[in-house]
Every structure is written in C-alpha cells, then in structure tokens.
Amino acid sequence: MKSYRIATIPGDGIGTEVVSAGVEVLEALAARDGGFGLAFDHFDWGGAYYKKHGRMMPEDGREQIRGHDAILFGSAGHPDIPDHITLWGLRLAICQPFDQYANVRPTRVLPGITSPLRHVSGPELDWVIVRENSEGEYAGVGGRVHQGLPIEAATDVSMMTRAGVTRIMRFAFRLAQSRPRKLLTVVTKSNAQRYAMVMWDEIAVEVAKEFPDVTWDKAIVDAMTMRMTLKPETIDTVVATNLHADILSDLAAALAGSLGIAPTANLNPEREFPSMFEPIHGSAFDIMGKGVANPVGTFWSASMMLDHLGEPKAAARLMRAIERVTADTALHTPDLGGRATTRQVTDAVIAAIKADNE
C-alpha cells in the first residue's frame, strides 16, 4: 500500500488548532479509502520556537522536510514578533528555496454560505487565482540607507524574470485549459509600471500561442477589483503577480463568504521539492485557544494536497464532506455568523467522510 509522509507545521495562533483538525480528517479519509496510508511528522516551528531559539525554524529545517511528500502548514505570525520576521523566517523560507512558484487559490461559494454580493447565489462565482509565488514584489530585493536620519531612503524592488513569468503563465494557461470554461484573465498594471509589467504582458501573449483553445483577456488590477465585485461570472482562472494576487485573493475569499474557508496550494509543479498546503487565513491571535477557528480552509487545503499526491478520489470525498457540512448553517463557525466550534465542524466532516458511499 502506498504511504505518504506529511510534514505538519502548525505554526502560530489558530494554526495549531486547524492543523490538528486537518490531521484528524486526513486520517479518517485514509481509513475510509483503504488504498493509501499517511504518516505525519510534526514540527513545532514558529513564534514560540523563535522566542526560545532566536529563529523561526532550525538551521537545517528545510533538510528535515525535504524528503516528505507534502507539507501541511497552519500559519506564521505572532503579536510579539514583527511580521516580516515571521514571514521571511518560516513561510517564505520554505516556499522560495523549495521553488513552490505556483500558488493556487480556488474560490467558490460553498453550499450554505452566503456571498456578500447581492446577485451571487453560488455558480456565478467559481474562480481559481494563480499567484506567482517566487519573485516579483516578494523577491526580497531592496535596502535602506541612512537609517533613522532625515535623509533615510528605502526601496523594495519587484524583480521579474523571463523564466519566472513564463513558467507561471504556462502553469495558469494549462490550469485554465483543464477547466470547463477554458478562460483565463491575466492581471497586470502595465499602464503605470512600464518595464516588468510590460514584459509580463508580452510573455502572456507569447505563451497564449501554445494554448489556442484557451480564451484569455487582460485586466488592469484596479479594474479587476471592480470586475470581481460587479461581474464575477465573467471570471474563471486568473493569473497575477505575487502582490496583486495576494490582495485579490483576500477580496475573492471575502466575496465567497469568509477568509476562514479559503485554501492555498504552494506548488512545485516539477516535484523536485515537496509542495505546501495551507489555509489563507492568518494566525488570528484574537480567537486563539477559544476553539472556534474555522477548520474548513485547512480541510479544503488538505483536499488540494490529496489531489497533488495523486489521490483524487479521497480529495473529492473530502470536498463532498466539506460541502455537506457547510450546507448546514448550524455547523457554521463565528466567522460565518454561526456558533459552531472547531470540534463540532471537525466531527461533522469526519462523520460525513464515514457515511460517504461514492
């Protein structure tokens, strides 16, 4: 029997609560499926680790997880530690060296969940945002001079490479091609940013030629926010730069009903390194330890993980279980306006997995 080794990194805040719920659900799925096994290795990296050791993960941390089949991640972020340290010390310290350049963020209005958009009942909003995840505005290029002096100056340079843009465009076109509508929107800002974003547009035109069956268009990022809000049905697959997609994916999650349900895959499509799966929501220290964190974002991410591992049946079974549970408003956590707990939602999803007959 196949067995997959999963590294879990719960991280900070509600990360620990949702990842342990995710592990329970994955174990129930493996038991229900019978065709594969899962072995979990837990890594206690994050804010608490930083307070003890002065770093977010050990020096050889990446080596410790390099051989795993996938990584299930909670969140990094701690009220006592600056955000750029937690981010660069853990999440980006894994994503970037493991070349997880394709960040995939599906957004749908799940059954039982109400979109804040008046005219959206469900099917009008079914998107996948592809975020460039290795360079651009998150390249880490920049610097500060004359710190603290009145003449201080600072830069954050967005680095785009032809190789980096080409591979994410190809990934996005291929993903669009695999979806029924074969429709891609390339988000840009080449009207104002006349170098890297113009190259981005040019490469989109080049790559599009490889995918004659994909219909595609271009949207300036500011106009894209209006389109997402006013004409969600005109969108299917979206590709955008690291920062643009970061912003648009929060908007997408809110329009689909809650940040608490939104999933992410950080993929290394060539499988030279493990890929990493995580809910979009952050560490949410305000609700930490209260047992009310919404685990659905982690469950959905776990479903993406199973797909990536090559277990589409289990992935689909998990999505069916999630949808059965979200359909019942009595099982909504506070972020969805309900009163259910993480425990109740997890138990209900496990029960739905056990009862699933497909």
Residue 126 near Mg ion by CB under 5 A: no
Decide whether 81 or 199 has the Cβ nearer to Mg ion.
81
| Residue 132's binding partner out of Mg ion, ligand IPM, none, with CB under 5 to 8 Å set by partner kind | none
Which partner, Mg ion, ligand IPM, none, binds residue 315 by CB below 5 to 8 Å per kind? none
* Closer to ligand IPM by Cβ: residue 276 or 331: 276
Q: Which is nearer to ligand IPM, 46 or 338 (CB)?
A: 46
Q: Which residues bind ligand IPM (CB under 6 A)?
A: 87, 246, 280, 282
What does 247 interact with, of ligand IPM, Mg ion, none (CB < 5 to 8 A by kind)? none
| From 137, 246, 278, 335, residue interacting with Mg ion (rule: CB under 5 A) | 246
Residue 335 interacts, among Mg ion, ligand IPM, none and using kind-specific CB cut-offs from 5 to 8 Å, with none
In the complex with ligand IPM, which residue's Cβ is closer, 8 or 96? Answer: 96
Nearest-approach distance from CB 224 to Mg ion, in angstroms: 16
Measured from the CB atom, the residue of 87 and 139 that comes closer to ligand IPM is 87
Q: Which does 61 bind (CB under 5 to 8 A by kind): Mg ion, ligand IPM, none?
A: none
Return the residue nearest Mg ion (CB atom).
246
- Number of residues counted as binding Mg ion (CB under 5 A): 1
Give whichever of 283 and 344 is closer to ligand IPM, judged by the CB atom.
Answer: 283
CB of 105 to Mg ion, least distance (A): 9
Rounded to a whole number of angstroms, the minimum distance from the CB of residue 64 to Mg ion is 26
3-state secondary structure the chain: CEEEEEEEEEECCCHHHHHHHHHHHHHHHHHHHCCEEEEEEECCCCHHHHHHHCCCCCCCHHHHHCCCCEEEEEECCECCECHHHHHHHHHHHHHCCCCCCEEEEEEECCCCCCCCCCCCCCCCCEEEEEEECCCEEEEEEEEEECCCCCCCEEEEEEECCHHHHHHHHHHHHHHHHHCCCCEEEEEECCCCCCCHHHHHHHHHHHHHCCCCCCEEEEEEHHHHHHHHHHCHHHCCEEEECHHHHHHHHHHHHHHCCCHHHCEEEEECCCCCCCEEEEECCCCCHHHCCCCCCCCHHHHHHHHHHHHHHCCHHHHHHHHHHHHHHHCCHHHCCHHHCCCCCHHHHHHHHHHHHHHCCC
Which of Mg ion, ligand IPM, none sits in contact with 87, Cβ below 5 to 8 A by type? ligand IPM
Which stretches of the chain bind Mg ion, using CB under 5 A?
246
